[in-house]
C-alpha cells in the first residue's frame, strides 16, 4: 500500500510538472498593433469582405475570438462580455461595434448566425444588430489576425477541440489594438473607459496577464501561469499527503488495537 501511494504521488507530481511546464496557449498583449484590415472574412449572410468593412473609422470595436463549437469556456467568456456590455450606457451599433471572429475555419455561416443571434438576444438592445457581427474565414486569415493580437491557440487532434485563451480586446476605429480584457469576468466601468479611450484613438495599458485556457487547463498563460501551476501542484500534493497520513494513522491505530486484543487473549 505504501509503495502504491508513493508511486501515485510521484506520478501525479511528474504529470503536473509536464502539464504546466510550457503553457500551450496565452493571450499576449500587443497594445498598439495594427489589425490586418485587408484580410477577407465572411459575415453571417455568407458575403466575403475585407475586415476593414466592419470598421467604420468613427467607432471603436470590441473584438472577441472563439468559436461556436467550443465545448467549454467560449460561451462563458462571450456571456461575460455581453453581460458587461449590457450594463454600459453606450450601445453596440451606435457608439461602438462588436466583432466576434471564429478561430475555426470549418465553421459555417449558419453556425455563426446562430451564435450571433444568441449574443444579440442576451444583449437585448434592438440597435445592436447593425453593429454586431460574427465573422468566419479561412485558416490563413484567422491565423494572421490571431498572431497580430497575440491570441495563441492550437488544435488538439486527439480531442478535436481548439485550446485557446479567454478574453477579448478593444480596438480603435482605425484598427489599432488598444486594451485587453482577460479571463471570463469583466468590469463594465473599465470597458466603458477603454471604449472612450479607443474612440479617441488612445491606447490602454497592459493588465495582469492571467488568462484561463479554454477546453483544458494546460494553457494558463502569462507570467503568472507557472505560479498558478505551482500552487495547484502544492495544493494537490498537500491533499494527497494529508490523505496518506490519515490512512496511515488509521492503519496504525487498527494494528495497535489488534495487538492489544492479542495481548489480552494471551
pLDDT in tens, 196-242: 999 999 999 887 755 555 544 444 444 444 444 344 444 444 554 55
Supply the pLDDT for residue 76: 84
pLDDT in tens, 122-181: 999 988 999 999 999 999 999 999 999 999 999 888 878 888 888 999 999 999 999 999
pLDDT at 109 over 50: yes
Q: Are 68 and 119 in contact (CB under 8 A)?
A: no
Domain assignments of the chain as residue spans, ordered by start: 2-15+225-265, 24-219
Which residue from 21, 84, 48, 60 is spatially nearest to 170, judged by alpha carbons?
60
pLDDT category, 20, cuts 50, 70, 90?
very low
DSSP state of 235: H
- The CATH code of the domain at 24-219 is 3.40.30.10
Determine how many CB atoms are found less than 10 A away from the CB of residue 27: 29
Supply the pLDDT for residue 29: 95
Distance CA 81, CA 86 (A): 9
Which residue from 25, 175, 13, 185 is spatially nearest to 101, judged by alpha carbons?
175
Residue the block writes with cell 494471551: 266
- The pTM score is 0.72
DSSP state of 201: T
Amino acid at each position: 500500500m505504501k509503495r502504491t501511494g508513493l508511486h501515485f504521488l510521484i506520478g501525479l507530481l511528474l504529470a503536473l510538472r509536464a502539464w504546466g511546464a510550457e503553457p500551450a496557449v496565452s493571450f499576449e498583449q500587443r497594445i498598439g498593433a495594427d489589425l490586418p484590415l485587408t484580410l477577407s472574412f465572411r459575415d453571417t449572410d455568407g458575403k466575403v469582405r475585407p475586415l476593414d468593412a466592419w470598421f467604420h473609422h468613427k467607432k471603436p470595436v470590441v473584438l472577441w475570438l472563439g468559436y461556436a463549437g467550443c465545448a467549454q469556456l467560449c460561451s462563458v467568456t462571450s456571456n461575460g462580455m455581453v453581460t458587461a456590455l449590457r450594463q454600459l450606457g453606450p450601445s453596440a451599433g451606435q457608439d461602438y461595434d462588436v466583432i466576434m471572429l471564429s478561430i475555426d475555419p470549418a465553421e459555417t455561416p449558419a453556425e455563426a448566425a446562430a451564435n450571433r443571434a444568441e449574443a444579440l438576444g442576451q444583449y437585448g438592445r434592438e440597435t445592436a444588430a447593425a453593429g454586431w457581427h460574427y465573422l468566419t474565414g479561412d485558416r490563413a486569415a484567422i491565423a494572421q489576425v490571431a498572431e497580430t493580437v497575440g491570441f495563441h491557440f492550437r488544435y488538439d487532434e486527439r480531442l478535436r477541440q481548439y485550446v485557446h485563451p479567454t478574453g477579448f480586446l478593444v480596438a480603435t476605429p482605425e484598427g489599432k489594438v488598444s486594451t485587453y480584457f482577460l479571463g471570463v469576468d469583466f468590469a463594465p466601468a473599465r470597458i466603458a473607459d477603454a471604449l472612450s479611450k479607443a474612440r479617441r484613438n488612445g491606447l490602454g495599458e497592459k493588465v495582469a496577464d492571467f488568462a484561463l485556457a479554454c477546453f483544458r487547463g494546460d494553457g494558463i498563460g502569462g507570467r503568472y501561469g507557472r505560479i498558478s501551476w505551482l500552487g495547484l501542484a502544492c495544493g494537490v500534493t498537500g491533499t494527497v499527503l494529508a490523505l496518506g497520513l490519515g490512512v496511515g494513522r488509521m492503519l496504525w491505530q487498527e494494528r495497535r488495537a489488534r495487538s492489544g486484543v492479542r495481548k489480552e487473549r494471551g
